[in-house]
Chains A and B, each alone.
Chain A
């Protein structure tokens, strides 16, 4: 009797032992994977930290009012500034978004409010996604062939056209998605008052989804503001201030590229400073607009229409 009990205890002990060993190995692997994941996060954050650190460290020293407003001087002396580049970026990106925002919003409205599941909306969605994935340099070539060759000069128009092709699909997609989350009851409230569909769409649905649409536009703008490749063959770059829409202009990314390919330290310092300005424009712009959109929120505003 005692023997059996002892054997039982022995077995139990053995079983426990193997299970524990197994589970401790399981736990070790689990821990290892967790650590690997944390390392992955670190691998992504280190470059970001280093980029921001270097841009600020190297960029701040070259910053001055003169640098921001003047034309580029001789590369060796480190004189002059990036005035034309800032101006050119604002103009080119501004025109591109004036083209892209309405087109993108209306196409998004078509997809969300008017299109069903027919072949045409499918085609629009599909090719819109295809457009989003196209390399920007190819769009630069298109801008060159369609506009530069036709009007015979590198120009603001060509650059803005190429950039607008990058921005449109982003705005379309985000507009469609944010219109789709607007609850149907809001539209129905409009219909019940006999408001025509175009008014409902523009004044009620779009307004409700406004912060989403705005986010799309902001994403689009911050994306195209940093584009370099399509500008090479469309606006060309120059050291002069804006002279006309049919002429070449400068842009910040292009100017950074030029400065970085110079062999002089002073040019590199200017390049870092220009990069700082570019990052500030892109980040500050998107952060402030996002905050603004968040504060306004997705609040439903139909009060104004109660007495249409």
Chain B
């Protein structure tokens, strides 16, 4: 009996105390929760807004061209003869991004291997800082450098020798090169995506447990064999994910491509050789947006934005899914 009243008393006091504490902090806590929830909700709202805005802006062109918008090759904004087909630009985008991947991915993985497996920390720490610097350079500066400096290296060192050697009989290397073409755009894009892919790959390689390596070494494997049999299989899907994120970046890059791709329009933008002028989805938008005279033309450009949005979303989500099993990285956070 006695203990029961004591217990009751105890419980009552506890209730009072907790009530006191709760009542004191509840309103402010609730308000704060409202604020942070609102901020989180705002990011969701932004995604919805983006989808709504480009969807709304492109209805005119999709009702005018229908699905032909994706397959057409003509691009003409002249009044009365309007035709808007995105296919050449889709091809141009994929070709430049493809070149960027072919060059950028192996180099990035090589860098990641050097930083995480080969070099001592004394070298790799400052070196990773230098490669981060490469990511901090704004794309317009890359563009300026590519337009006035790098383009001539490419022409003299790679394009002209290739053209002279194979140009006559392999159409792939046909067309006199002068530096403003898909090849240059692809190479400069590859330089841009190297820091992203190599940073993620390095993190992946670092996450491989050392027991994995020691097992291979104990069998007498060299460093390369260890990488091949014990390390790469462990992070394969992650490396693919890193490459995807780089691809997403290469597909969406605008100003740099605009400066070096030669800006061909319509059918001419379908690259016939490595040294063809072309355009990407993003570069057409950048080139023509402020000159669009009719609302149909503007809507067509927004339509290109829709294609670009879908393309990059698909690539990035694919990359995120591949990476999510490995480590937490998000596209574009450069650090």
Contacts and interface: CB of A to CB of B under 8 A. Distances in A.
Interface of A: 26-27, 29-30, 33-34, 36-41, 43-45, 47-48, 50-51, 54-55, 102-107, 109-111, 113-115, 120-121, 123-124, 126-139, 141-142, 144-146, 165, 168-170, 172-174, 177, 194, 196-199, 201-202, 215, 219, 222-223, 225-229, 232-233, 236, 253, 256-257, 260, 268, 271-272, 275, 278-279, 282-283, 286
B144 A275 contact: yes
Nearest to B311: A135
Q: How large is the interface on B (under 10, 10 to 19, 20 to 34, 35 or more residues)?
A: 35 or more
22 contacts: A29-B224, A30-B223, A37-B118, A40-B107, A45-B131, A47-B134, A55-B144, A102-B39, A111-B40, A129-B316, A132-B332, A133-B248, A134-B309, A135-B253, A136-B254, A141-B57, A165-B46, A177-B328, A198-B33, A219-B334, A256-B144, A260-B143
B141 interface: yes
Given A44-B107, A131-B46, A134-B252, A227 B138 contact: yes
Contacts of B308: 135, 137-138
Given A135-B251, A136-B254, A142-B50, 20 more contacts: A27-B222, A40-B106, A40-B108, A44-B191, A44-B195, A50-B145, A50-B149, A54-B149, A107-B40, A113-B36, A135-B253, A138-B50, A141-B289, A141-B301, A174-B335, A198-B31, A228-B140, A232-B286, A233-B290, A272-B144
B81 interface: no
B282 interface: yes
Nearest to B259: A260
Given A47-B134, A109-B36, A138-B50, A196 B24 contact: yes
A260 B150 CA distance: 14
Chain B interface secondary structure, helix, strand, loop or mixed?
helix
B114 interface: yes
A198 B56 CA distance: 40
B114 A169 contact: no
A133 B143 contact: no
Given A127-B44, A253-B138, A283-B133, A132 B331 contact: yes
Contact of A114 (B36, B108, B147, B191): B36
A130 B316 CA distance: 7
With a 10 A CB-CB cut-off, give which of A34, A113, A114, A129 has the most chain B CB atoms.
Answer: A129
Interface in B117-146: 118, 127, 130-131, 133-134, 136-145
Interface of B: 21, 24-25, 28-29, 31-33, 35-40, 42-44, 46-47, 49-50, 53-54, 56-57, 106-111, 113-114, 118, 127, 130-131, 133-134, 136-145, 147-150, 191, 194-195, 198, 222-225, 227, 245, 248-249, 251-255, 259, 282, 285-286, 289-290, 301-302, 305, 308-309, 312-313, 315-317, 320, 328, 330-335
A183 B67 CA distance: 55
Contact of A38 (B114, B223, B285): B114
Nearest to A164: B46
Contact of A41 (B111, B248, B289): B111
A138 B52 CA distance: 12
A146 B47 contact: no
B317 A130 contact: yes
Given A196-B29, A253-B138, A141 B302 contact: yes
B280 to A, nearest CB: 10
B138 A138 contact: no
B47 A41 contact: no
B147 A260 contact: yes
Given A106-B39, A169-B330, A215-B335, A134 B28 contact: no
Scoring A26, A43, A134, A138 by chain B CB atoms within 10 A of each residue's CB, the highest score goes to A138
